[in-house]
């Protein structure tokens, strides 16, 4: 059983994974470029974009993630 203090506390937010950082960065642009697309279509487009992203660009997102992880 959890005591009352633990039930009311909120777990600290974990840093966003590199793909999620990329997704958040690209979402608005993809939405504007594809105004008729449904949410799941946008997700698929962003997934393809991530797959085509160079390792050097991916490493930027990975580095942001690692730095935020250390700050926690």
pLDDT band of residue 36 (cuts 50, 70, 90) is: very high
CATH class of 13-71: mainly alpha
How many C-beta neighbours within 10 Å does residue 7 have? Answer: 8
**Length, in residues, of the chain:** 72
Phi, psi of 53 (to 5 degrees): -75, 140
Tell me how far CA of residue 56 lies from CA of 1, 18, 30, 53, in angstroms: 47, 13, 21, 8
Q: What is the pTM of this model?
A: 0.77
Where are the domains positioned within the chain?
13-71
pLDDT band of residue 72 (cuts 50, 70, 90) is: low
Predicted confidence (pLDDT) at residue 31 exceeds the cutoff of 60: yes
In this predicted structure, what is the pLDDT of residue 28? 97
Q: Provide DSSP, 41-52.
A: HHHHHHHHHHHH
Which tens digits make up the pLDDT trace of 50-71?
999 999 999 999 999 999 988 7
Between 1 and 10, the higher pLDDT residue: 10
């Amino acid at each position: 059983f959890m005591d009352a203090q633990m039930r009311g506390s909120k777990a600290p937010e974990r840093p966003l994974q590199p793909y999620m950082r990329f997704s958040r960065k690209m979402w608005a642009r993809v939405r504007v470029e594809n105004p008729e697309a449904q949410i799941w279509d946008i997700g698929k487009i962003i997934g393809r974009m991530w797959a085509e992203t160079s390792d050097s660009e991916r490493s930027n997102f990975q580095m942001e993630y690692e730095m935020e992880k250390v700050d926690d």
